[in-house]
Amino acid sequence: KQLAQLDSSGTVALLERMKEKVAVQEALAESYGEIAQESKSIDAEIDKAIGKAGAGQAAEDLQALKAKLGLAE
């Protein structure tokens, strides 16, 4: 009788661990789904953070530096 109780306890513990793993995997899948549905790309996030003017200024600064070094196209 004790052996049967140990086996059922082990089985219940195994099922609980499996249930926890499934819950973690479901949460992870849901998170990935939310990320995939985001309409913003990384580039859009960066542009938003620095602003469109900042991106244009960087391009102008790069062109000025190239001209100074004689690398202008």
Overall average pLDDT of the 40-63 stretch: 74
Residue 39: per-residue pLDDT: 65
Question: Who contacts 66 (Cβ-Cβ below 8 Å, separation ≥6)?
Answer: 72, 73
CA 72 to chain centre: 38
Domain ranges of the chain: 1-38, 40-73
Tokens 């469109």 locate to: 52
* pTM recorded for the entire structure: 0.45
- Range of weakest confidence among 10-14, 31-35, 45-49, 62-66: 45-49
Q: Which residue has the higher pLDDT, 4 or 15?
A: 15
Residue 28: per-residue pLDDT: 95
- Helix H or strand E segment including 66: helix 42-69
